[in-house]
A and B are shown apart, each in its own frame.
Chain A
Amino acid sequence: AQSVTQLDSQVPVFEEAPVELRCNYSSSVSVYLFWYVQYPNQGLQLLLKYLSGSTLVKGINGFEAEFNKSQTSFHLRKPSVHISDTAEYFCAVKNYGGSQGNLIFGKGTKLSVKP
């Protein structure tokens, strides 16, 4: 079975600084990878996804992530964060060919951007 580990539960950062949110996964088969964002009191929304092809994936709001198969990682990055990026970020994994319900989420990383 696949699993997801988000190494940091909280990441504080100053506005305009770069940020990296770490995600490692475990699976015995090929996977799809995702980052979702949850703003306070809202549902999750898709930030970006890796299905195949280029390992560098660009998403909304200036975020990007890089799939590293050898390190089983899918870290999320942004070169310069804004106050409005304060939210909780979830990494998720799904096996190729798995059922639609087989989307496994990490525990989340709370990003706090300070002025």
Chain B
Amino acid sequence: DAGVIQSPRHEVTEMGQEVTLRCKPISGHDYLFWYRQTMMRGLELLIYFNNNVPIDDSGMPEDRFSAKMPNASFSTLKIQPSEPRDSAVYFCASSFGGGVSYNEQFFGPGTRLTVL
């Protein structure tokens, strides 16, 4: 089992540029989560999907942020245009719902984004 795969692991870009982060969840998992981690705010949920459908995007900070899940094995988080305050580590996580109230979320290694 390869676990949750994220790419790139590191991204350095200039303010105003478009940034696309990618995630491949664990096969068979039906939930996918995008988190952002910063020193100031800790770990925040941005958006999550169930069966490829966005369920809650209330954590997405601004319209500059968008996320898609075109199929069960791929998701993207896009920032356009990027700003220095978007610098953070972005994590993708996945889980299998199984009809119970909680199941363990498995995290990817994260993408460290630096916006200059």
Query: Which residues of chain A have a CB within 8 Å of any CB of chain B?
Result: 32, 41-46, 49, 51, 90, 94, 96-101, 103, 105-108
**Which residues of the other chain, A, contact B31 by a CB distance below 8 angstroms?**
100-101
**What sequence of 0s and 1s flags, for each residue 1-12 of chain B, a beta carbon within 8 Å of any chain A beta carbon?**
000100000000
Chain A min CB distance to B75 (Å)? 14
Given contacts A32-B102, A49-B104, contact A101 B56 (CB under 8 A): yes
Measured CA separation A41–B31 after assembly (Å): 24
Residues of A within 8 A of B55 (CB): 99-101
Partner of B108, one of A43, A96, A97: A43
Distance, CA A42 to CA B48, complexed state (A): 21
Main secondary structure of the interface of A (DSSP, over half): loop
Contact size range, B: 20 to 34
Closest 7 CB pairs of A and B: A43-B107, A101-B48, A105-B43, A107-B42, A44-B107, A43-B109, A101-B56
Give chain A residues whose Cβ lies under 8 Å from the Cβ of B97: 100
**With the chains together, A32 CA to B103 CA distance in Å?**
11
The answer to whether B43 and A90 touch across the interface, beta carbons within 8 angstroms, is yes
CA distance A105 to B1 in the complex (A): 26
Chain A's nearest CB lies how many Å from the CB of B92?
A: 9
Contacts of B91 in A (CB 8 A): 43-44
Interface residues of B (CB under 8 A from A): 4, 31, 33, 42-43, 45, 48, 50, 55-56, 91, 93, 95, 97, 101-110
Closest-CB distance, A36 to chain B (whole angstroms)? 8
| Residue in contact with A99 in the complex, picked from B4, B56, B110, CB distance below 8 Å | B56
Contacts A99-B55, A108-B42 aside, 8 further interface pairs with beta carbons under 8 A come to A32-B101, A44-B91, A45-B106, A46-B105, A94-B102, A100-B31, A103-B45, A105-B43
Q: Across the interface, which residues of B come within 8 angstroms of A51, CB to CB?
A: 102
Which residue of chain B has its CB nearest to the CB of A106? B42
CB distance from A34 to the nearest CB of B (A): 8
- Known A32-B101, A42-B109, A43-B4; contact A100-B42, beta-carbon cutoff 8 A: no
With most chain B CB atoms within 10 A of its CB, the pick from A43, A99, A103, A107 is A43
- Residues of the B chain whose Cβ atoms lie less than 8 Å from the Cβ of A106: 42
